[in-house]
Chains A and B, each alone.
Chain A
Amino acid sequence: MSHVSVRGVWKEYPNQVVLERVNLEIPSGEFCALVGPSGCGKTTFLRMLLGEESPSRGSILLDGEPLVAEPGPERGVVFQRYSVFPHLTALQNVVIGREFASSRFLARLFGAQRREAEEEAKSILATVGLGAHLNKYPAELSGGMQQRLAIAQALIRKPKILLLDEPFGALDSGTKAQMYELLLRLWAEEKMTVFMVTHDLKEGFTLATRVLAFDKVRLDPTDPGAYGATITYNLPLDEKKARMAQAEAAAAEAVPAS
């Protein structure tokens, strides 16, 4: 389970209020799209969910417990760029998650354990369509392939929450369509709660079961930093959720047959 509660959260930097009075209840398994004008605090909000930043006021709870104040394996992340390790091949980039988990001192696996981790990583890489590029370095992959690698890498620790910050912002529209399909499939399979920042409203409505719009409701023309943004619209796309549930039920029925 991964119910996220955001209670009266503010985020202030020395000369600026970025976010104010943010309240949210997100049930487990939702796909939330965060939209809003540039610079309104979407990334900041995501970084607070990640534990990289802490709220100035208020609290964020995960399943009723206060969020751990640093990033950890229960929350996976994909950034717009630089998410993968340039010195590791695609396969090593995914295996490393297992190595961090199972080898405390060397962070390396050997022998049977290694083969097992590699098999698991290979099947995840095959899922995201990188099965043929296991031994390439990130610099040898296209932008879309790097983002798919970043997603595969995040999935190996089976996070409860997946955070994505404009993950497809730098991709062309054909690649984007493939990525949407991939992300929706993985989301349905892994039953994660997803938060995705996007500046593309259409992308948000295409993918999400809930759209969260950030914007400023108060404005001081002499001091733009005086007031912060908050969630101005919280739109559950219920009819879409119902369709998703239907699709899931159909998939579940199909499993015994296969």
Chain B
Amino acid sequence: MRRIINRRPGRGGVLFWGLLPFAAACAVYAVASAMRLAANPNDKLLPPLSALGEAIARVAFSPDARTGDYLLWVDTAASLQRLGLGLGVSLLIALVLGIAIGLIPYVRAGLAPFVAILSMIPPMAVLPVLFIVFGLDELSKVVLIVFGVVPFLIRDLAGRVGEIPREQLIKAQTLGASSWQIVVRVVLPQMVPRLVDALRLSLGPAWLFLISAEAIAATEGLGYRIFLVRRYMAMDVILPYVAWITLLAFVSDYLLRRFNSRFFPWMQAGKGPS
């Protein structure tokens, strides 16, 4: 017998073992749901798969009786807009401050301790402050996302800039580069893919802050809807919404990864067969 650390699944094996937990989870759900419904046909906790399908058809493909909106799409648009704005602003701030802190000693001396302290403030604790200052609508939700992810992005990027070998920066100077030229040709191109990686790690926290803010004050949005229908124990709506949010997060993560390998081929260069 070879050691277990040396035994690898083949192509089909990877697919099989990857799908197994999903299949198992579905099976456990179906069985548990059937058992509860057998005991009590009005049980709302684990609705049957057919009920989930009906709920999806209701929220996604037929207009809401009261407002005439297709709820899932209205909620998705509202949430993605907040998320996109929050993350876009965060990226810009992080790119400017992260590179400045990592590269310019005076900026580092001035801002690094401040950002370090800022990143320790629990964002949810300041949410009431944001609501008071920025009002209950869009701005405060976007600001919460920025506040939640930007300190991490800045610190991560500043660290990455610091990891650029000193030799490269010296070399650029011996080729006559100014500080600005070093930023645009040496630092920035190497930092964009790192920032995208950091952004991928920030997607989880960003969704967390978005849904929390929507749960507390909103009139539409994925988080708002989940917390609204919770009052009626509408698991048939909540579960598809959770699955949908998960899918959105997964797809955005996948697209960001593809973006990196498409536009920054040098990151993979020389790392074995491609």
Contacts and interface: CB of A to CB of B under 8 A. Distances in A.
Interface in B164-198: 165, 167-168, 170-178, 180-181, 184-186, 189-190
Interface residues of A, number: 39
Contacts of A88: 266
Instruction: Give the dominant DSSP class at A's interface.
Output: loop
B185 A140 contact: no
Given A85-B186, A154-B174, A157-B176, A137 B269 contact: yes
B185 A99 contact: yes
B175 A157 contact: yes
Contacts, number: 89
A100 B181 contact: yes
A106 B184 contact: yes
B270 interface: yes
B175 A100 contact: yes
Contact of A50 (B168, B170, B181, B184): B170
A227 B270 CA distance: 45
Interface in B136-188: 165, 167-168, 170-178, 180-181, 184-186
A77 interface: yes
B174 A104 contact: no
B269 A96 contact: no
Interface residues of B, number: 25
Contacts of B174: 50, 71-73, 75-77, 154, 157, 159
A52 B269 CA distance: 31
Given A71-B170, A85-B168, A96 B176 contact: no
B264 interface: yes
B271 interface: yes
Interface in A43-93: 50, 52, 70-73, 75-77, 79, 81-88
A135 B23 CA distance: 47
B178 A104 contact: yes
B167 A73 contact: no
A139 B172 CA distance: 19
A81 B167 contact: yes
A83 to B, nearest CB: 5
Nearest to A77: B174
B189 to A, nearest CB: 5
Nearest to A89: B266
Contacts of B177: 100, 107
Interface in B253-274: 264-266, 269-271
A101 interface: yes
Contacts of A100: 172, 175-178, 181, 185
A153 B177 CA distance: 13
Interface in A170-198: none
A4 to B, nearest CB: 16
A137 B175 contact: no
B180 A105 contact: yes
Contacts of B173: 70-72
Given A139-B266, A139-B270, A153 B167 contact: no
Contact of B175 (A73, A87, A104, A139): A73
Contacts of A139: 266, 269-271
Contact of A97 (B165, B176, B184, B271): B176
Question: Which of B170, B174, B177 has the most C-beta atoms of chain A within 10 angstroms of its own C-beta?
Answer: B174
Question: Which of B172, B177, B190 has the most C-beta atoms of chain A within 10 angstroms of its own C-beta?
Answer: B177
Contact of A107 (B167, B168, B185, B269): B185
A137 B176 contact: no
B190 A86 contact: yes
Given A100-B181, A137-B270, A139-B269, A87 B189 contact: yes
Closest 3 CB pairs of A and B: A139-B270, A73-B176, A82-B165
